[in-house]
Amino acid sequence: MRVAVISDIHANLRALEAVADAIGQAEPDEIWCIGDVVGYGPQPNPCCEWSADHAAVCLAGNHDLGVLGTLDLSLFSDDAAVAARWTREVLSEAARGYLAALQPSATRDGVALYHGSPRDPVWEYVLSYDAARDALHDSTADLTIVGHSHVPFAIGEGEMVGGHASDGTEVDLQGRWLLNPGSVGQPRDGDPAAAWLLLDLGSRHATFHRVAYDVERTQAEMRELGLPDVLAERLAHGV
């Protein structure tokens, strides 16, 4: 069983199209999405449609819940709240219904999936070895996948080996591992290219991928719609 894992699409359709092309060439058995399909970006409805059509499992992220009104937008940064309110206005009924049915955690083929972390599936950012150790402790699965931080990583239990996973990183998943595929639509590890992860659950192997996309086109779409400029600008820098 081979699985393409994606997270944090954030309504960036141009990034999603590039990742979908790369995934198509890899011909995985399933696609899993770790949440935040919408928020920040300019194309929430087509991103929800794509996810509904292609993702065998999709989690709810904090931005998805903020747009739905399940989470109070006072918990968000100002720019994120502006984008979430805009998304709420333009969201189709079909996309709203799709997002409303999602949960922030799931188990699929023995793999534990959380948007944030096992102890706080919606909000906690796993961005340190201490947080990763806690997440591995709190999960009962051998393989646990989180999203939310927009930073791709692979960390193995015990020696706490691994860390940031750049393009082309390959990991042999013997023992217990915590993975983050990184973000499709708003990478934050200094590499603006869209991130995705290919898992082979049979041979226990993970390969981290990046794919360049037309960042300037997404930026132009955001500016045309009046979304906060800082959200467009950061895409060029991968921060």
Complex with Zn ion: residue 8 or 124, whichever CB lies closer: 8
Complex with Zn ion: residue 80 or 132, whichever CB lies closer: 80
Complex with Zn ion: residue 83 or 201, whichever CB lies closer: 83
Give me the least distance between CB of 8 and Zn ion, in Å please.
4
Query: For residues 147, 120, 50 and 32, what is the CA-based torsion angle, rounded to 10 degrees?
Result: 60
Give me the least distance between CB of 160 and Zn ion, in Å please.
24
Complex with Zn ion: residue 36 or 191, whichever CB lies closer: 36
Give me the least distance between CB of 33 and Zn ion, in Å please.
12
**Residue ranges that bind Zn ion, judged by CB under 5 A:** 8, 36
Give me the least distance between CB of 186 and Zn ion, in Å please.
7
Residue type, 137: H
Between CA 179 and CA 95 the distance in angstroms is 28
Complex with Zn ion: residue 40 or 98, whichever CB lies closer: 40
Longest dimension (CA), the chain: 49
Q: How many CB atoms lie within 10 A of CB 229?
A: 12
Give me the least distance between CB of 35 and Zn ion, in Å please.
7
Return the exposure string of 201-218: e unless at least 16 CB atoms fall within 10 Å of the residue's CB, then b: beeeebbbbbbebebeeb
Query: 224 CB contacts (<8 Å, ≥6 apart)?
Result: 42
